[in-house]
Amino acid sequence: MNLGGELSLDNIDIGLLKEVPLDICEKYNIIPIGRYNGKVYVAMSSVSAEMIKYLEQNFSTAIVPIKSTEKSIKKLIKDGFGVRIYKKDIDTEGNIINDAISKKASDIHFEPFEKEVLIKYRLNGSLILAFKIDKDKYLNIATRIKIKSNMDFSDKLRPQDGKMLHNMKNGELLDLRVSTLPTYYGEKIVIRVLYNNWDKYNLESLNFSKDDLSLLKRALAVRNGMIVVNGPTGSGKSTTLYSILNEEKGKDVNITTIEDPVEMLINGINQVGVNIKAGITFSTGLRSILRQDPDIIMIGEIRDEETARIAVRAAITGHKVYTTIHTKSPYEVFSRLKEMGIEEYLLMDSLILVISQRLVKRNCSKCNTVHKISDEIRNKNKISMEVYYKGTGCEECNYTGTQGRMLIYDMLFIKDIEKANIKEYLRGEVGSRFSSSFFTRLKNLLEEGVISLDTYMNFLEGENIEA
């Protein structure tokens, strides 16, 4: 069947659009039209057997491809996805949130522009376009989100922060953190989804090697001192800290945290959120915690000199301190704390372990296929292997080729380092940002087919490291 000419929105059953992600429609230039005699008719600019198979599984019925022009389908995608969630305008934002959660999105972005609003999901660290909606529909959505988040819905000129509980269909309540930012075309809104899966956070699931996991547990057994997890935003630092707390919470100890914000509620742990209006900062909160007879203190992040000093003093006076700091390598933790005014002898006495980490995208196991590496790329990047693996995209991974992310890390156990080497770290005399074992782990993941060559190269380029 070939329509050849232009299709219009009148030809489309808007209800079918909720069954296929927008990015799939845009990438493969397809759009479902309607359901007739038990079959689903789908407009395509080029017919793909693989896509038909995906759609048959998606709709659980036979697919009839309709040949149409690329231009016609692109227009329908834009118009159709813009109205698909407005057939029932009640709680539209709830439908968007449910859709994002079903895809395991960590964040939902509402980005207003002149004529449309882009709605994007953060999936596996990447920002993916989910919907485009008409600008005139956005005001009601933004207002309802702000009201539910206890914000001043009439104030559109100042950034605001809030939170709300979202009721899932299964009765589960999820904590959502909401922030607004005035932009030229209106208020940009970002919703952070805080999943209630703290019980799944454990050290065994974090991809530490057997030897390094043993080393980490050895560090946890030390009665007092400081363990620092470092890395950029989105590198999994909080996950590592929560996994450590889950390891500790069954013991006869008083564990208290100071976080900004509290990202995951854990039974059996006293958690305090930074609240500037109430006068609770990292430093003031930490001072109060120290009067509460704590055994273990978790500090969400060391940001300033006062917090650093209190944390180090706590670590050398009988407390166990877990925290994070924004540096790129384990060695830079020493120099950053020195910049905050911490003396060398205090660092040497307080630090037990430093973990520097990143997250890399894992190839989808269902569609992972072998690809040849060109001689040019091999020579340029000093790669000896001739082939690599990469996910080509399938239903299992939503046609992204990747499925989740995994941890790569460097680990420094201070007590195992010679004092002369610690002096080098303290004085910034270490040459490489990462250890040789870090690069070995990364290369092993490439050779084992766990990550793609693109992921490997993008990591090196992003860190400004030569292969």
Q: 3-state SS of 417-437?
A: CCHHHHHHHHCCCCCCCCCHH
Q: Are 194 and 273 in contact (CB under 8 A)?
A: no
Mark which of 27, 46, 81 sits at the end of a domain.
81
Please check whether residues 381 and 272 belong to one and the same domain.
yes
Note whether residue 54 is domain-resident: yes
Note whether residue 103 is domain-resident: yes
Please check whether residues 166 and 119 belong to one and the same domain.
yes
Please check whether residues 158 and 53 belong to one and the same domain.
no
Please check whether residues 98 and 130 belong to one and the same domain.
yes
Note whether residue 140 is domain-resident: yes
Note whether residue 134 is domain-resident: yes
What domain count does the chain have?
Answer: 3
Note whether residue 375 is domain-resident: yes
Please check whether residues 303 and 252 belong to one and the same domain.
yes
What is the extent of the structural domain holding 345?
199-462
Mark which of 36, 66, 81 sits at the end of a domain.
81
Taking the CB of residue 41, how many other CB atoms lie within 10 A of it? 19
Note whether residue 467 is domain-resident: no
Please check whether residues 173 and 279 belong to one and the same domain.
no
Q: What is the CATH number of the domain that holds 371?
A: 3.40.50.300
Task: Write the DSSP string, 375-425.
Answer: HHHHHHTT---SEEEEE---TTTTTSSEEEEEEEEEEEEGGGS-HHHHHHH
Q: What is the CATH number of the domain that holds 112?
A: 3.30.450.90
Please check whether residues 222 and 189 belong to one and the same domain.
no
Mark which of 194, 222, 238 sits at the end of a domain.
194
Note whether residue 436 is domain-resident: yes
Please check whether residues 168 and 250 belong to one and the same domain.
no
Please check whether residues 123 and 150 belong to one and the same domain.
yes
Please check whether residues 301 and 358 belong to one and the same domain.
yes
Please check whether residues 267 and 314 belong to one and the same domain.
yes
Please check whether residues 188 and 203 belong to one and the same domain.
no
The predicted model scores a pTM of: 0.75
Residue 297: the pLDDT is 98
Contacts of 284 (CB under 8 A, 6+ apart): none
Per-residue tens of pLDDT for the chain, all 467 residues: 444 455 666 667 877 877 787 778 888 889 998 888 889 999 998 888 888 888 888 888 999 999 888 888 887 887 676 555 444 444 588 889 998 998 889 999 999 999 899 999 998 888 988 888 888 888 889 988 998 999 998 899 999 999 999 988 777 889 999 999 999 999 999 999 988 776 678 899 999 999 999 999 999 999 999 999 999 988 999 999 999 999 998 889 999 999 998 888 888 999 999 998 899 999 999 999 999 999 999 999 999 999 999 999 999 999 999 999 998 888 889 889 999 999 988 998 999 999 999 999 999 999 999 999 988 888 887 888 999 999 988 877 877 888 989 999 999 888 766 555 666 665 555 555 677 788 889 999 999 999 999 999 988 887 766 65
> Which three-class secondary structure state does DSSP give residue 141?
helix
Q: What is the CATH number of the domain that holds 57?
A: 3.30.300.160
